[in-house]
Structure 1
Amino acid sequence: MLQKLYDWVDERLDITPIWRDIADHEVPEHVNPAHHFSAFVYCFGGLTFFVTVIQVLSGMFLTMYYVPDIENAWHSVQYLQSQVAHGQIVRGMHHWGASVVIVMIFLHTLRVFFQGAYKKPRELNWIVGVLLFFVMFGLGFTGYLLPWDNKAFFATQVGLEIAESVPVIGTDIKTLLAGDPDIVGAQTLTRFFAIHVFFLPAALFGLMALHFIMIRRQGISGPL
C-alpha cells in the first residue's frame, strides 16, 4: 500500500532523486558509535532536533485548548489537564521537554566549542547555532507565563526587570514585551503568546533550515 502511494507521488513529482540524495549520504566514520564510543557526543544535535519536534507537535496540541487571556488562561490549562484525554501527558511532555531541549542544545554547543567545530569554514553555522540557542531561551521564557499562575506571574516580573536593566534600550525592551511598562497584565499575556506561538517558531524554522543546509554542504566536523 505504501509502495503504491510512493509510486503514485513519485510519478507526478519525481521525488526519488531527492530522497536518494538524502538517504545515500554517507556518515563519516568518526560519528559512528559502533566504531568510536566518543561518537556519542555527536548525537546531541540530533537529540536537540528530536526534542524540538516533540515540542512543536505537543505545542500544536496545546494551542487547540489554550485561551490566551487573563480570565481564561489558567482555567483552559486546568481543563486540558483534567478533562481532555491524554491532555496531562501531552502538557507534561511539553513542560519537561522545554527543559530537556535547553540541556541538549547546551551540550551540543559545548561539543562544537571544545572540538573547535566553529572554526573555518563553519563560522556562519556557529553564528546560526548561537542564534538558535537564544531563540530556544526566548521560547522558554515566553512559554513560562502562559499557564498564568502565581509562579509564572512573578517569574515573568523578574525576567522583565532583568530586561529593563539593559543599558539604554532596557525600558523599550520591557515595553515591547510587556505592552504595559508598569504591570504584567492582559497585554503581556497576549504578546507572550504571540511571540511564543508565531514569531519565535518562525525564526526557529528559518534558522534550523539554514543550519541543516550548511551542515549538508560542509559536512559533519571531525575530531579536534
Structure 2
Amino acid sequence: MRKLYDWVDERLDITPIWRDIADHEVPEHVNPAHHFSAFVYCFGGLTFFITVIQILSGMFLTMYYVPDVENAWKSVYYLQNEVAFGEIVRGMHHWGASLVIVMMFLHTLRVFFTGSYKKPRELNWIVGVLIFCVMLGLGFTGYLLPWDMKALFATKVGLEIAGSVPFIGDLIKVLLAGDDTIIGAQTLTRFFAIHVFFLPAALFVLLAVHFIMIRRQGISGPL
C-alpha cells in the first residue's frame, strides 16, 4: 500500500493536498474525552456517513430497477427475492432514507441551539437548509419507485399538497407528474430521473460548498 501511495505521489504530488485536509486541529469542545456533550457534534458526520451508504446502495439498486409501469414492481420483487444480498441492500436503502432525515434534523437542531448559524456562518446555514430540502425531495421521489399501492396513494397525496401551493402549485404538480389527472408512466419516469440524476447532482454541489465553508471557517464554538 505504501509503495502504491509513493508511486501516485511521485506523479501527482498528493501529499500536500492530503496534509491540508488531514492536518486539521479539532477544537477541544468537540472531543468526547473532555466534554460529554461533544457527541452532538457527531450528527453532521453521521448524516454524511448515512448519505454515502444511500448513494452506494442506490447505485446497486439502479443496476436492477426498471423505471416503467410494466416492470417497476417486478424488478423490485426480483431484486428483493432473487438477487444475492438484494434484500439486505434494499433494506439498507429503505431504512437509511428515514434515518438520514432523522440525523439531519438532529444536526440542524444542534446548529440552531448552539448558535452555529450566526456570523460568519450564515451562508453555510442557508446551504445546510437547501441540503435538507434536497434530502426531503429524494425521500419523496424515491417513495414512488417501487410502484405498489402504498407508494401510489402516498405520492397522490404529496402531489395534491404540491398543487395547493399558491400561484405555482398547478405548475409544480404538472412538472412532477407529467399529467394533472393521473399518476402514470410519465410520473414514474420523471420521479426516477429527479431521484437518480437531478437531485443527486444538486446534493453533490451543495455538499461540496458546505464542506469547503466548514474547512475555511472551522468548527463552530460551544454554546
How high is the TM-score relative to the length of structure 1? 0.99
Quote the Cα distance in structure 2 between the aligned partners of 1:213 and 1:22.
11
Quote the Cα distance in structure 2 between the aligned partners of 1:24 and 1:121.
23
Quote the Cα distance in structure 2 between the aligned partners of 1:64 and 1:108.
32
Show the counterpart of 1:99. Answer: 98
Tell me, what secondary structure is at the counterpart of 1:212? helix
Displacement of 1:216 after TM fit?
Answer: 0.4
Displacement of 1:201 after TM fit?
Answer: 0.1
5 Å-filtered alignment, 1:213-224, equals 213-224=212-223
Cα offsets for 1:82-127 (capped at 9, x unmatched): 1100000000000000000000000000000011100000000000
Percent identity over the alignment is 86
Quote the Cα distance in structure 2 between the aligned partners of 1:156 and 1:184.
8
Query: Which letter does structure 2 place at the counterpart of 1:104?
Result: M
Query: Which letter does structure 1 place at the counterpart of 2:28?
Result: E
Displacement of 1:203 after TM fit?
Answer: 0.4
Displacement of 1:223 after TM fit?
Answer: 1.1
Task: Extract unaligned runs of 5+ from structure 2.
Answer: none
Give the aligned length: 223
Displacement of 1:81 after TM fit?
Answer: 0.4
Quote the Cα distance in structure 1 between the aligned partners of 2:147 and 2:188.
8
5 Å-filtered alignment, 1:166-185, equals 166-185=165-184
Show the counterpart of 2:153. Answer: 154
Query: Which letter does structure 2 place at the counterpart of 1:70?
Result: V
5 Å-filtered alignment, 1:1-224, equals 2-224=1-223
Quote the Cα distance in structure 2 between the aligned partners of 1:84 and 1:37.
44
Tell me, what secondary structure is at the counterpart of 2:8? helix
Query: Which letter does structure 2 place at the counterpart of 1:105?
Result: M
Displacement of 1:22 after TM fit?
Answer: 1.2
Displacement of 1:196 after TM fit?
Answer: 0.1
Query: Which letter does structure 2 place at the counterpart of 1:181?
Result: D
Quote the Cα distance in structure 1 between the aligned partners of 2:107 and 2:85.
31
Cα offsets for 1:29-58 (capped at 9, x unmatched): 100111100000000000000000000000
Displacement of 1:63 after TM fit?
Answer: 0.1
Displacement of 1:4 after TM fit?
Answer: 0.8
Q: Which runs of 4+ in 1 moved over 6 A?
A: none
Quote the Cα distance in structure 2 between the aligned partners of 1:23 and 1:72.
46
Quote the Cα distance in structure 1 between the aligned partners of 2:140 and 2:51.
16
Cα offsets for 1:66-95 (capped at 9, x unmatched): 000000000000000011000000000000
Quote the Cα distance in structure 1 between the aligned partners of 2:36 and 2:207.
27
Q: Over the residues paired in the alignment, what is the CA RMSD in angstroms?
A: 0.4
